[in-house]
Structure 1
């Protein structure tokens, strides 16, 4: 065994030890993740209902509904973050590593939103914008894979593979009613459920 190989193994062992000894997960982050899944899952489910003529909404009503979902999520996020800071909840090194993984994916999402949004507007092609949520789930899958490699929890690997599979499936059904249905179910399964699991773990570690 070379010195470099031994060093790499030692570094990996150290990282795993740090993660296993990490501090209490932030309840706010878990609840925000769950809220995102429930709110946006409900929104895309309504869009699916519209696409199959099960739900009838005018263009102005649809716009108001979409804006309302976004405002509701932002409100929930702000309240949870403020409450979390007020309680002075800290995060261990392991939790900070996971936060960094998801934070990085979030920053990439913002950049991609601008890229897809601007080009969809310039080309007057909504199909370009529809690629954005596919990429979002791919990035979430990558972030969850990092979480799995740090924590070695099977449910994290399941979420990672679920997000990656969802990304591919959505890419294949763009332009069909199935797109919104897959997106809705994915929001519930890969956002709301993991958020609930993380919230449960946070309560146990109080």
Structure 2
């Protein structure tokens, strides 16, 4: 094999890694958009119901609690099924993806920790601490992405998650809490998801 053939093979291999990373970024962005919109709107509707006295009733509250999760599970399955072949991506892409996956698993573990404590003690404050911790963990994942990729917008998103987590801690058991949750999810989950999709399509 000539040096030219070897160089072409190397370029093709590197191109495959970049394209795989782009696809991973696009899929992750789609999941973020779905989750940010669904749960962001959920928080804002609950906030509006509390502030403006909109009667949701038991059935409405049940639907508002369950429907976003059901729809988000559907979005997740749809995103996963669109591209079943493994897309390992480069080392940085794999590290960023691992950081977000680890954060998601940690969130589930924390849910199993906070939910029983809140229910057994009938404490709204304990339950509301869970999203605040989740926001802080998301900030950590985005901060990891920033340190690996050195892109300013990733650092801004990480800072947004951290500031919002502090805001939630300061507004526990108030009407402002749900407003911050809703706006925070739209600003730091849905919008960055759109950005990730656009950057993936541009190959950035």
TM-score, with length taken from structure 1: 0.85
Is the contact between residue 124 and residue 173 of structure 2 (CA under 8 Å) also seen in structure 1? no
Alpha-carbon distance, 1:68 to partner: 1.1
Q: Does 1:53 align with 2:43?
A: no
What are the Cα deviations for residues 127-166 of structure 1, in whole angstroms up to 9, with x where unaligned? 2111000000000001111100011111110011110010
What are the Cα deviations for residues 86-141 of structure 1, in whole angstroms up to 9, with x where unaligned? 6x645222211101111111111011101000101111212211100000000000
Q: Does 1:100 align with 2:98?
A: yes
The 4+ residue runs of structure 1 with deviation greater than 4 A are none
Is the contact between residue 41 and residue 188 of structure 1 (CA under 8 Å) also seen in structure 2? yes
Matches within 5 A, 1:128-167: 128-167=126-165
SS in 2 for 1:95: helix
CA distance in 2, matches of 1:141, 1:179: 18
CA distance in 1, matches of 2:198, 2:119: 42
CA distance in 2, matches of 1:55, 1:81: 37
CA distance in 1, matches of 2:47, 2:89: 39
TM-score, with length taken from structure 2: 0.86
For 1:171, the equivalent position in structure 2 comes to: 169
SS in 2 for 1:55: coil
Q: Does 1:91 align with 2:89?
A: yes
For 2:21, which of 14, 20, 24 is the aligned residue?
24
Alpha-carbon distance, 1:203 to partner: 1.0
For 2:184, which of 179, 186, 189 is the aligned residue?
186
CA distance in 1, matches of 2:64, 2:114: 22
Structure 1 spans left out of the alignment, 5+ residues: 1-17
Report the count of equivalent residues: 186
CA distance in 1, matches of 2:82, 2:90: 19
**Root mean square deviation of aligned Cα:** 1.8
Is the contact between residue 173 and residue 179 of structure 1 (CA under 8 Å) also seen in structure 2? yes
Alpha-carbon distance, 1:60 to partner: 2.0
SS in 2 for 1:116: helix
Structure 2 spans left out of the alignment, 5+ residues: 1-13
Alpha-carbon distance, 1:66 to partner: 1.7
CA distance in 2, matches of 1:55, 1:69: 19
Bigger mean CA offset, 58-67 vs 139-148? 58-67
Q: Does 1:200 align with 2:178?
A: no
